[in-house]
Structure 1
Amino acid sequence: MLELLTGSGLAMAAGLNAYVPLLALGLLSRFTGLLALPEGWQWLQSDVALAVLGALLLVEVVADKVPVVDSVNDVLQTVVRPASGGLVLAAGSASQTLTVTDPAATEGWRWVPVVLGVLLALAMHGTKALARPAVNATTAGAGAPVVSTVEDVSAVALVLVAVLLPVAVGALVVAVLALLVLAVRRRLTRRRERLAAAP
């Protein structure tokens, strides 16, 4: 169970920033004893992977701080972030960490973590992508760098919590899913009200 919570936290972080958890998995596995990537995922800690992920992270961080560019970036990331979520949940749930000493528990059903990771990252990404235009409109673009920085810090924090304290991720997953359901309900209610008010 802890291995799925670790992977879920990583997938949620991917929904905020696709490259933070991928880069973190590679760095943590290569340079610390906090996480050991399983066989088949060790390419994440290679020099080439770390360099490419670092460059992509830099581009993402800069693009996400510029109003209007951030919304275009969110559209482009609609495929990348969920894909990253699937990858990191699969890799993270099969990794050995300080709290997960038997990651082989997920071995028999490898496709489930990928699908769950895609869904969690898509939920986070959807929330972010829907909120960002509203932030830009209400702050005349001044809020974009602030909100983006908070998202980046949150992605890093999610990775650390997922690796060091995966139990806390469970409560966070429930909260995020509840907020997403509320947001969808609110949007549908507004849509019905507009349709009812239209002549």
Structure 2
Amino acid sequence: MEILTGTGLSAAAGLNAFIPMLILGLLDRYTDLVQLPAEWDWLANGWVLLIIGVLLVLEIAADKIPVVDSFNDWIQTVIRPAAGGIVFSSGISSETVRVSDPDTFFGGTAWVPVALGIGIAFVVHVVKMMTRPVLNAATVGAAAPVASTVEDTASLSLSLAAVLVPLLVVVLLAVVAIGLWLLFRRYRRQRRLRRSTGPALRS
């Protein structure tokens, strides 16, 4: 359960750095569903939550504008993996409705979950960063707001599942992976079609 919780949160951070951080902080501050350990309880601080909320709004807006979204992805290359390390480590060491004995697996090696979270978030972020320009080019920018909304929804779903139903993380990650693969196949098919019809039109 700890592994699934951390994986879900860090994968969510790879899509949107601020959604899983905000989810953890809000659930700890206003509910009994999450109890952050002392070293991570700053995530539930009111001012920290306000700053994360403002950054989330800016991220959501920037990620829906063609060209700006790609520039934002380059900036997020540092932020998203860092957020992934934070939420993986804080998530697996928190007491949640599904994890009643936190930190048993990674206890004594505090750097390991941070490194794992950074790696998972970085991989997800790179896939997102490589996919977005392709979608924008294939749709003349029309796909940016749609893709961004889907990614934000996936990040929110992964974050909530990681805390409430960790086993669901496996299903959601599979859905995201299949969705990205189908989009890639569709783009390749359209690209081959344009290449085959191009010479015919010129002749």
Name the residue aligned to 1:83.
Answer: 82
Q: CA deviation at 1:177?
A: 8.0
Could you give the per-residue CA deviations for residues 16-39 of structure 1, whole angstroms, max 9, x where no partner exists? 000001111100110111111111
Name the residue aligned to 2:103.
Answer: 104
Q: How does 1:141-156 map to 2 (within 5 A)?
A: 141-156=141-156
Q: Does 1:57 align with 2:56?
A: yes
Residue identity opposite 1:77 in structure 2: Q
Q: How does 1:11-22 map to 2 (within 5 A)?
A: 11-22=10-21
- Conserved in 2, the CA contact under 8 Å of 1:85 and 1:120? yes
Residue identity opposite 1:55 in structure 2: V
User: Aligned-residue CA RMSD in angstroms?
Assistant: 2.1
Q: How does 1:1-199 map to 2 (within 5 A)?
A: 2-105=1-104, 106-170=106-170
Aligned residue pairs, count: 181
Q: CA deviation at 1:104?
A: 2.9
Could you give the per-residue CA deviations for residues 60-119 of structure 1, whole angstroms, max 9, x where no partner exists? 000000000000000000010001000000000000000000003022221111111011
Name the % identity. Answer: 51
- Conserved in 2, the CA contact under 8 Å of 1:4 and 1:113? no
Aligned equivalents of 1:120 and 1:179: distance in 2?
18
- Structure 1 unaligned blocks of 5 or more: 184-199
Q: CA deviation at 1:168?
A: 2.6
Q: Which has the larger radius of gyration?
A: 2
- Conserved in 1, the CA contact under 8 Å of 2:2 and 2:102? yes
- Conserved in 2, the CA contact under 8 Å of 1:34 and 1:97? yes
Q: CA deviation at 1:174?
A: 7.1
Aligned equivalents of 1:65 and 1:132: distance in 2?
10
2:39 match: secondary structure: coil
Could you give the per-residue CA deviations for residues 131-153 of structure 1, whole angstroms, max 9, x where no partner exists? 00011101111110011011011
2:83 match: secondary structure: helix
Q: CA deviation at 1:169?
A: 2.2
Aligned equivalents of 2:157 and 2:67: distance in 1?
26
How has the CA–CA distance of structure 1 residues 178 and 120 changed in structure 2, closer, same or farther, with 3 Å as cutoff?
A: farther
- Structure 2 unaligned blocks of 5 or more: 185-203
